[in-house]
Structures are given as structure tokens and as C-alpha cells.
Copies of this chain bind each other. A is one copy, B any other.
Amino acid sequence: MRKTVGRITIKDVAEAAGVSVGTASRVINNKATVRPEIRSAVLSAIDRLDYQPNAVAQSMRRRSTQLVGCIIREINIPALAAFVRAAHDELDQAGYSLVISNSEGRRAREEELIHRFGRLQSDGMLLGPYTPVDPAYEKLLRGFGAPIVLFDRNEPEWADAVAADHAGSIDRATSRLLDLGHRRIAILTGNPLLFPAAERIRGYRRAFQRAGLAVDESLVRGTGFLAAEGFRNASSLLASAAPPTALISGGIDMLPGVLRAIRVRGLSIPDDISVVGSGDSELAELHTPPISVERWDMAETGRTAALLLLRRIGGERDTPPEHVLLPAEFVERASLAPPRQS
């Protein structure tokens, strides 16, 4: 006798099987001992009524939602989509669902989303804050009642984190440019208070230092990861009295802006200017000429982040925070050439 109104609850199942709700619950979670004949009676009732446990009620009681929040800047960036995809697979396999949200890189939205995922009682969170973590932010994160894993960030340092070795790859890229004879090498990246920007600049300086050369500070621009910033900075540099002969685009989706600035100015790659991008992409690979990039495995990043998170969720609460640094390589393509003799 199917109930006509409302969904089927465990109570209906118990009634149909002629047992108590408690027993029905024990069957459903196949717990402890329950007589085989009763078990099958309950299972048949479940089948007959097409019963599905109400996850909300379960979450309420078990105090675990099997939900993981993920705050990224923009799902539309292929590299981030790859990250999400890999993390999703790992979490999904462990029975967790992924709630994603785009922060658009805005502090206010990040805060709102963190609050939202807190209210949601999500069991964990993957977070790539776009704002430097000041004390207020740190407090907000500390108040989040579940484990947090950061990606491509290293603050707050008490959270687990997965990041790529930007310093290493940009060091290699810069060295290669120096070897080719470049001296005026510009690096465009985000706020140096954020890990990937700081690291890229660190690698850049390290290469100069090793070569015994001084860095021209006017060529180091840490104002923003976005394509628009890339365009702005590249444009102004290229228009200057002593324009750079090589340009490192240090943002995961900055390259389109930089390329546009170069095109607008009528320059050609690599004859007029050498270019290095950050993060491999169809754009970099298929561009004419193909653009050299620092590359790391985004899927591996996502997997690792998910695994770290699952470990914490699984109860490992008081081992020290783990900061995984994944290798990044420098992939040379046709976008590099010696500087033009002038």
C-alpha cells in the first residue's frame, strides 16, 4: 500500500515489514545482529516501497553530511576544472559529494562562501583563497568546524596544503632566458603575499642571483593574476623606453591578456619578445608559435588535496599539518629565442 502523500520514510518501511523503526534502521545500516528472516522482510519492504533514506535526517543525526565544499576562483579556467575533476573523483569514491562555488577572487564572496559551507555543516573544504590570509581571515577559517585543505597556498600554516613548486620551475625558465642572452626579463604575477606569486618571484630572483646579475625592480610586477592585469602590465612595459625582451606571465589564466598586449603592439613572438606562461593549456600548446610554460600536474594536485582532506575527515586530527609541494617543470617551446640585437 504505497503512501500517496509525502515521501516514504523508514517508519513506512518498518510498518510494512512489521518491525520497529529501530530494527529497520539496523537492517539499513546492516549493523549488529538481526535475524535473517526479519532482515529479508525489511529488505523486501524497502524494495517494494522504493524507500530511500533521507540524507538530511541522517546528516542531522550522524552529524556528518558527506558534503565537501570547494571554493575556487573560477571553474571556467581549464586548469582549475582539472583540479576539481580529480578531487571530485577521489571524494566521490569515498562517498562524498562536492559542492563547488566560484569566489571570483573577491574577498567578500570568499567569506560568504566559507560561512555558507560552515552552516551547511560540510565535512571539509578545499580552498584556494585569493586574498592574503590576514588575522580576520585566519579567525574565520579557524572557526570553520571541519578540516580545510589549501591549494597553491601555504597560509594559514596550520592547514594541510598542496602546492606546486613554482620557484623551481620559474627559476629554470629564468635561467634559460638568461642563457639565451636576455637581460631585461619582466615577470608579471599576483600579489606577492600569495604563495604562487611569492614563489615565482623568488625563483626569478634566485636565477638572477646565481647568474650574478641584478634584478631590475621595474620589471617585477606583482599586481594581479588576471588576464586584465596581464594585459595592463604587459602593455605598459612594452610601451616603456626600455621594454623587456622577455616576459614571464605568472598567472594561471593571465596568458591571453599578455598575448593580446603583444599582438596589439604589433610585436612578434619570439623575434621581438620571448614569452613564458604559467600552467599548461590548449592556448599555450596550440598558439602560433607554441608558448613555453611552467607546468605541473593539476589532476595530481586535486587528488592529493582530496586525499589529505579525507585523511583528516577520517579522524586524523592531531598529526601536524602536511604541506605537499608537487614538482613543476619548465617546458620549452618555440616562444623562446635570443633577444634581438639592437
Contact = CB atoms under 8 A, between A and B. Distances in A.
Interface of A: 7, 50, 52-57, 59-60, 65, 67, 74-76, 78, 81-82, 84-85, 88-89, 92, 97-102, 115-116, 118-121, 143, 145, 281-283, 286-288
A88 B65 contact: no
B54 A75 contact: no
Contact of A54 (B50, B85, B97, B121): B121
A89 B118 contact: no
Contacts of A115: 52
Contacts of A116: 97
Contacts of A82: 76
A97 B88 contact: no
A81 to B, nearest CB: 5
Nearest to A92: B101
B119 A54 contact: yes
A88 B73 CA distance: 13
Given A78-B81, A98-B101, A145-B7, A119 B88 contact: no
16 contacts: A52-B119, A53-B119, A56-B121, A57-B60, A75-B88, A78-B78, A88-B100, A88-B101, A89-B102, A97-B99, A98-B101, A100-B100, A282-B283, A282-B286, A283-B286, A288-B288
Contacts of A81: 75-76, 78, 81
Query: How many copies of this chain does one complex carry?
Result: 2
A274 to B, nearest CB: 19
A54 to B, nearest CB: 6
A143 to B, nearest CB: 7
Contacts of A281: 282
A98 B97 contact: no
Interface centre among A56, A115, A281, by most chain B C-beta atoms within 10 angstroms, is: A56
B88 A120 contact: no
A26 B208 CA distance: 64
A60 B56 CA distance: 6
B56 A65 contact: yes
A101 B65 CA distance: 16
A97 B98 CA distance: 10
Nearest to A59: B56
Most interface-central of A76, A89, A121 (chain B CB within 10 A)? A76
A55 to B, nearest CB: 4
A76 B302 CA distance: 13
Contact of A52 (B7, B56, B101, B118): B118
Nearest to A63: B56
Which 10 A-B pairs have CB atoms at the shortest separation, nearest pair first? A286-B286, A55-B119, A282-B282, A76-B85, A81-B81, A55-B120, A56-B59, A56-B121, A52-B119, A97-B99
Contacts of A50: 143
